[in-house]
């Protein structure tokens, strides 16, 4: 079945540590996205990528980094510079980056917590 | 004023009730409107997708857009316990590089 796979489901970070969240899709979508979801805050866009080897900052990119070396994969690194990383992280993809014209499909998320 | 406002909830209804979920927005350029359903510890799944004004029906679900009032609604008829989830509205402009703007979500509980 086509879909988006995020791993791990749960992740714990120590102080000063970088951690990487995996996102893989087999939908042949060009565009991929990372969102952060906090209770009562809705979804906030961290980074997005319209095509391989290209990515753009979203609304809350500070303390995060991404890469897009393959069409299927869009990993997110939460760096030690992100002082409040505890959240539910969601990866999404769409056929292409074109706003609402291309609905986004989501993975089942990674819950990151601080040790 | 935030771009998208959604009733914070939570909302609890008995099984079989008609549920009305609403969002208001301030950006008159929004043209695409979506409703996502998110079960606990899962990612959002696209439930309804509409363009511009009007109604769209899919089974027990009806999405309604009133652009003159900048107001969208999702109606759930004959609500079931399996409808218990968080519902997020989302919307975007027509231009090619427009991003999705989400409401904060409302948690619905349908009591058996």
- Cβ-based contacts of A42 with chain B (< 8 Å): 6, 88, 102-105
CA of B84: how far to CAs of A42, A76, B100, B107, in Å? 18, 31, 24, 8
Taking only the tens place, the pLDDT of each residue in B83-106 is 999 999 999 988 777 888 999 999
Q: What percentage of chain A carries pLDDT values higher than 90?
A: 76
Higher pLDDT among residues B25 and A42, named by residue: B25
Return the closest-CA partner of residue B19 out of B61, B67, B49.
Answer: B61
B64 pLDDT band (50/70/90 cuts)? very high
**B30, closest residue in chain A (CA to CA):** A100
Answer for the pair A96, A77: CB distance below 8 angstroms, yes or no: no
Number of residues in chain A: 115
B25 pLDDT band (50/70/90 cuts)? very high
Distance from CA of B17 to the nearest CA of A (A): 25
pLDDT at residue A96 in the model:
80
CB under 8 Å to B59, separation ≥6 — which residues? none
Answer for the pair A96, A108: CB distance below 8 angstroms, yes or no: no
pLDDT at residue B1 in the model:
62
Higher pLDDT among residues B82 and B7, named by residue: B82
pLDDT at residue B95 in the model:
79
pLDDT at residue B87 in the model:
97
Candidate from B32, B36, B104 with C-beta closest to A100: B32
pLDDT surpassing 80 at residue B107: yes
pLDDT surpassing 70 at residue A100: no
Taking only the tens place, the pLDDT of each residue in A11-50 is 998 888 999 999 999 999 999 999 999 987 889 999 999 9
**A58, closest residue in chain B (CA to CA):** B99
CB under 8 Å to A32, separation ≥6 — which residues? A23, A25, A48, A49, A68, A74, A91, A92, A93
- Cβ-based contacts of B46 with chain A (< 8 Å): 103-105
Subunit contact A42:B88, Cβ cutoff 8 A? yes
Report the alpha-carbon distance of residue A51 to residue A71 in Å, rounded: 7
For residues B41-66, give the mean pLDDT.
93
Mean pLDDT, rounded, of chain A: 92
Instruction: Kindly report the backbone phi and psi dihedral angles of residue B78, in degrees, each rounded to the nearest multiple of 5, phi listed first.
Output: 45, 55
For residues B54-64, give the mean pLDDT.
94
SS3 string of B22-86? EEEECCCCEEEEEEEEECCCCCCEEEEEEECCEEEEECCEEEEEECCCCEEEEEECCCCHHHCEE
Burial class of residue A33 (count of CB atoms within 10 Å of its CB; 0-12, 13-18, 19+): buried
B2 pLDDT band (50/70/90 cuts)? confident
For residues A73-88, give the mean pLDDT.
93
Distance from CA of B90 to the nearest CA of A (A): 9
Distance from CA of B98 to the nearest CA of A (A): 4
Higher pLDDT among residues B13 and A2, named by residue: B13
For residues A2-7, give the mean pLDDT.
92
Subunit contact A101:B93, Cβ cutoff 8 A? no
Q: Is A11 on the interface with B (CB under 8 A)?
A: no
């Amino acid at each position: 079945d086509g879909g988006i796979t995020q791993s791990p489901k749960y992740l714990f970070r120590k102080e000063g540590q970088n951690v990487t969240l995996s996102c893989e899709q087999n939908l042949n979508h060009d565009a991929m996205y990372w969102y952060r979801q906090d209770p009562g805050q809705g979804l906030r866009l961290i980074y997005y990528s319209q095509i391989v080897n290209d990515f753009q900052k979203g609304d809350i990119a500070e303390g995060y980094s991404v890469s897009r070396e393959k069409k299927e994969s869009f990993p997110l690194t939460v760096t030690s510079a992100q002082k409040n990383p505890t959240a539910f992280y969601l990866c999404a993809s769409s056929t292409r980056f074109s706003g609402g014209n291309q609905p986004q499909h989501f993975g089942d998320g990674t819950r990151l917590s601080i040790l | 004023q935030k771009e998208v406002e959604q009733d914070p909830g939570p909302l609890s209804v008995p099984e079989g009730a008609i549920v009305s979920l609403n969002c208001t927005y301030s950006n008159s350029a929004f043209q695409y409107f979506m409703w996502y359903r998110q079960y606990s510890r899962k990612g959002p799944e696209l439930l309804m997708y509409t363009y511009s004004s009007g109604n769209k029906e899919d089974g027990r679900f009806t999405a309604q857009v009133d652009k003159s009032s900048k107001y969208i609604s999702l109606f759930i008829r004959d609500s079931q316990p399996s409808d218990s989830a968080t519902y997020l509205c989302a919307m975007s402009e027509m231009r090619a590089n427009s991003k999705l703007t989400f409401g904060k979500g409302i948690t619905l509980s349908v009591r058996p």
